[in-house]
Structure formats: structure tokens, C-alpha cells
Amino acid sequence: MAQTRYVDRPIPQISLADFDARIDQITTELVSAAENVGFFTLIDHGISKKDVDAIFATSKSFFDLPDATKATVPWNANNVGWEKNSQIRPSTGKPDSKESYQLQFGDNMNGLWVTDEHLAGFRTTALDFMYRVQRISENLMRCFARGLGFPETFFIDCHDVARPDSQTTMRLLHYFALPEESDGKVYHRAGAHADWDFLTLLFQKEGQSGLEICPGREVVTEFGIGDEWTKVEAKTGEIVCNIGDLLMSWSDDRFKSTFHRVKAPCEPGDYFGDRYSIAYFNQPCKDALIQGPQKKYPMVTGAQFTDSAMKRNFAALQEKLKMLAAA
């Protein structure tokens, strides 16, 4: 396996303090980050480090449950529920060494919330945090709408989590501890990929490193294999954001969807322990109409865009598996 080539690249840090008074400045900073990097971090966003630590504790409480209990809320095709060692990235062709619990706001979660019998208060705690992250997302959407010349609430209306066809998802993630001494196996935490959503907001825990980005890609065409990567330091109080394929399309490719991965530890100094993160995927309502201001791509609905992205991902995975089988 070729050794990763790393480059240091500053990742824009954007303060959301005094948002309404500074919305013009914040818009300028967000648009610049979206055009040139595809990644940025948020500070002064209104969720305290204490509150982030608390939701991580809630997440760990879920993952500490026996597998038989977690299996009472199984993953299904609506992109919700619990999965373990089942996500395979086209970039690797192998399962990620992790488990996750995906949560949404609407009817897709019927019967898929872990019960109070197993984890008291989980649903209330999770939804409260989800609504707080949604409010941050909506402020960012106001800025991106301004930057692209849409009405200010355009993206907010397209991502209305109060609607039954909302697709926005929060994903609790637990990457398993890995052996520090080689056991002859190859592990993957999250293979290189680009998100297909509008915008992802990621919460990390300090000291639990591994997130890396492949910067400067003009369009999403492959998985950054052989390219230069940049490590993203994990800080509990910051939110790491990346542009998804959807916003790239909605901006007529003006904004950049960037490859990223969670690299499995492989050398002294890497973090081999259990790693927890929380990803909030802003995805449009199924009937939202998606087309950039320059109409570079045909208009599609939110449901059509998601379906197309999943089919494209599946096709890429099948191609990777064929290559592995032939090797």
C-alpha cells in the first residue's frame, strides 16, 4: 500500500458570533471557503463544549448497550437505524470498522427510537440536540442562498425538518478500537468518500484523531487515491463542515464537494482507541426542486438526487469489488 502524502493546508475557521449583525461578513467567508476548500470549521455557534460532551455521553450510552438491544432498532432503507460493520465504501471495497445509529425527525423513525426501557430519555435528548444543530444549519443556508442569488430562506424551505418527507439525518458514530500491534489484517474506519448531502456538520472529540481531507479537488470524479491529504485536528468545541455533492450541483459546481476519510491508525502516535463522532447531514425534502442558478444540470427532486447518488455509489462499489476479485 502506497504511503499517504500529507500537506499542511489551512482550513478556514469561521465565527458565527453576532450572526445577524455580521451576516454579510459571514456570507463572504463561507462562500470563499466553499469555493476554495470545501471544508471549514465553525466557532461561536451557540452550542457549548459542555453540551457537546453531554451528547457524546448519550451516544456512548447507546453504543454500550448489548448488540441484541441495539438490534431492536435495525437500519433500514429509509437511512435510519443501527448498523454494525456493514458500510462498505467504493474506495476500499471493505467494511468500515464501526457501528452507527442514524436518526431523523419524521415518520421514518417510527418504531426505530431506542425505548426508555433500554435508555431513558434518549429520544428527547437526541431530538433537542438535532433541533439545535438544525438552527445552526439554517443560518448557514441563509448565507449560501445569499451567495448564490437565491431568496434568503430558499434553502431553509427546501430542508424543512417539520415536513414528513424530510430526509435530514443525524448519525451517531462509534469506530472500534484497533490493535496497536499488527495482527495481519487491514482495517478501515471510513474509506475516502464525498458526502452526497447539501452540507455536513461534524462534531468530534478532542484527542480522537483520524479525520483527513483531500483538498483542492475541482470536481468529484474519483476517491483521491494517490493525492495529497490534510489532517483535521479533532477539537470538541468546533464543528467541522464540508460541502456535499448536492450543494456542489445546486451551485453549478461553484462550491466544492471534497473527499474525506477517517484513516485507520497504522503507526505510533496515531489514535488506536474507540473513536466517537456525530455527523449531521442536511438533506432536502423529497419534493424539493434542485437546480443551480445557471441551470448547468437538469432539475431534479430531492428524492431523485438521493436515489441517483445511492445508485452511483452502488455501481462504484460493484466495480471496486470486481477489481478486488480479479486481483
Give the CATH number for residue 12. Answer: 2.60.120.330
Beta pairing partners, 26: none
Angle of CA points 206, 66, 178, to nearest 5°: 45
* Alpha carbons 242 and 206: distance in angstroms, whole number: 19
**Among residues of the chain, what percentage have pLDDT more than 90?**
60
Helical H segments across 180-296, by residue range: 245-250
Please give the pLDDT value at position 106: 85
Query: In which domain, by residue range, is 276 found?
Result: 5-326
pLDDT (mean) for 124-143 = 98
Q: Which pLDDT value is given to residue 218?
A: 41
The amino acid that residue 54 corresponds to is: A
Question: Rounded mean pLDDT of the chain?
Answer: 87
What grid cell was written down for 263? 484513516
Mean pLDDT on 211-228: 59
More confident residue, 312 or 5: 5
DSSP 98: E
Other residues' Cβ atoms within 10 Å of the Cβ of residue 211 = 23
Q: Which of 124-128, 151-155, 225-229 has the lowest mean pLDDT?
A: 225-229
Quick check: 222 pLDDT over 60?
no
Instruction: Give the integer Cα–Cα distance in Å for 35 and 21.
Output: 23
Q: pLDDT tens digit string along 38-75?
A: 899 999 999 999 999 999 999 999 999 999 999 999 99
Q: Kindly indicate the confidence band of residue 279, based on its pLDDT and cuts at 50, 70 and 90.
A: very high
Residue with more model confidence, 268 or 26: 26
Rounded to whole angstroms, the Cα distance separating 290 from 167 reads 14
Number of folded domains that form the chain: 1
More confident residue, 164 or 322: 164
Helix segments in the chain, DSSP class H? 19-36, 49-63, 67-70, 122-148, 154-158, 245-250, 302-326
Backbone φ, ψ for residue 105 (5° rounding)? -90, -35
For residue 223, the model assigns a pLDDT of: 46
Burial class (CB in 10 A: 0-12, 13-18, 19+), 70: buried
Classify each residue of 109-126 as buried b or exposed e, where b means 16 or more C-beta atoms within 10 Å of its C-beta.
beebbbeeeebeebeebb
In this prediction, residue 216 carries a pLDDT of: 52
Give the closest residue to 255 by CA, choosing from 324, 199, 302. 199
User: Looking at the DSSP assignment, which residues form a beta bridge with residue 102?
Assistant: 81, 171
Distance from C-alpha of 73 to C-alpha of 117, rounded to nearest angstrom: 13
**DSSP-derived 3-state class of residue 259:** strand
Phi/psi at 259 (5° precision): -65, 140
Chain segment 135-187, per-residue pLDDT in tens = 999 999 999 999 999 999 999 999 999 998 899 999 999 998 887 777 667 66
Which residues make beta-bridge pairs with 42?
A: 14, 239
Give the per-residue pLDDT at 91.
53
